[in-house]
Amino acid sequence: MLPRTNCKLCGCMTCYAFAFSLLRREKKPTDCPSLLEEEFRPTLEFLQDALGGDRIEGTDIILNSEKCHGCGVCEEVCNRAVTTIVVPATGKAFKRQPVPPVFKMVDGTVAVINWSSCRRVSGETLCTLCEEKCPFQALTLT
């Protein structure tokens, strides 16, 4: 879908490299000058819709702030997850030592305030509760 000019104006050596930078959210579709031209407007719109959201720096989270309504569901389920240990064999839940919350609602949208508290970071589990429980599909974990 990209122009295939390999012009390097986006900062990548090739359009192919730019495509991977888009997928990793290191670049945005608007970083390609050719996509800003009228003939590529449908492609630009498609890519912006498909790749909606920005990686929250230093995390595995892509947030589509246009979809986030600040409902706090991600914050609530995450706070429960980081403060609870479930023993798989028995299904019993135990409280852990208090852990600083990962999320906080700021100005009507979610913000990551303590990424190091996320169970994904500690390697305990590949927890995806915040993504799964978001009623607006505003969060994507990578």
**What tens digit of pLDDT does each residue of 42-89 get?**
999 888 878 877 788 888 898 988 889 999 999 999 998 888 877 778
Q: Are residues 39 and 6 in the same domain?
A: yes
Q: Are residues 45 and 75 in the same domain?
A: no
pTM above threshold 0.85: no
Q: Are residues 76 and 112 in the same domain?
A: yes
Q: Are residues 89 and 118 in the same domain?
A: yes
Q: Which of 8-12, 92-96, 111-115 is predicted with the least confidence, judged by mean pLDDT?
A: 92-96
Note down the domain range covering 117: 61-141
Ramachandran class of 28: left when φ > 0, alpha when ψ lies in -120 to 50, beta otherwise: beta
Asked if the structure places residue 56 within a domain, the reply is no
* Cα 3 from Cα 1, distance rounded (Å): 7
* Cα 134 from Cα 65, distance rounded (Å): 12
Residue at token pair 């879908």? 1
Asked if the structure places residue 6 within a domain, the reply is yes
Q: Are residues 107 and 45 in the same domain?
A: no
Count the domains in the chain. Answer: 2
Q: Where are the beta strands (DSSP E) in 16-131?
A: 54-55, 61-63, 84-86, 93-95, 103-106, 109-112
Q: Are residues 82 and 124 in the same domain?
A: yes
Final residue in a domain of this structure, among 32, 51, 70: 51
pLDDT in tens, 109-122: 999 999 999 988 87
* Cα 132 from Cα 130, distance rounded (Å): 6
